[in-house]
Structure 1
């Protein structure tokens, strides 16, 4: 996997190895990670910036799933693994538990090592890994990015989850679940802005369908987000 190269992946520059210390040398990302930007008080991302980041992540997954000779499944997509360079371009990092599928394989079996809250059902219960696992994680990440609510938040218990909360709020109460900081206190959101936010959440839900075969593919995710971005830009 050392020959993987893409604009939206963190570059591996080299490695250090001796009997007492082993480390990878990665490209420096001066703007930290998405988790910091979502949950640190002195950071803020507007709607377009969040869309740009999620489009970058979608392009990274598209390359991993379709642009490399053998599909690569990241297996641990979450905000802390989305790093931001000096231009706020997103780069997917941390391939510590990534899986390389055979050229003729669409799934693999492994131990479940990913972060709770982002794990696809089939991966968590049966250890089944496919590119659709990343799509599921991406859907959770997409919800979180526009809601600023972690899937592990203490408000979720028993049958209530981030995904269920979004599903129950669609399509008429999307404003109630998105990050309040995205709208100024005295701002009356336009119909077009509400429509775009609803489309983003609907897309996230399509990524998070229980059945892997029913989930949208990441190529369509990237194209859909670009369309939403164009619509949103015209309404601002």
Structure 2
């Protein structure tokens, strides 16, 4: 929990907007205060993969994605000028073990560019190389005693999972992060993926990418030494 909070999850991002929520990255003290219950070892495992009590905002996920892409934690800014003062995002470098960080980046590359990846169908055809992670956020708990599991479309609308995707691009020269959450949208790859792809198409079409004159086939180098 300590490390996840230092990466910007479960804490306010500092964005210049009102009513920002902390979210929740649970630990022993949080559970005891909230539920008056002890923490179980299994909860450490499920919390590590984003299940259980974890609650994060789309902006926190976008910020975390940018951190994985660049090793820099950014305090986002929506306004360029506030009360005649020019605003600047705060950028905090964070050190990672290079081996594990490269493995995470390669995994995010595979999600979008290797057949079988959960976002391959929507991202692999883009003119720039995208890396990302899809997610399906369960809204209601399913008791272990439940014998027949309903499919997503069979559930009542407000019981359906939220659909997530978070991405960055270009893979070897990160310039943009696109994070999409569709409430009760089901699966991230099939619901949120096309929305993120449309955003990247718009960015590319309007020439927002630096050096985008390079063809996708010329940027397939997966060497991460430049990070």
> Bigger radius of gyration, 1 or 2?
2
TM-score, with structure 2 as normaliser: 0.28
Question: Higher helix proportion, which one?
Answer: 1
Q: Which has the higher contact order (CA 8 A, sep 6+)?
A: 1
TM-score by length of 1: 0.27
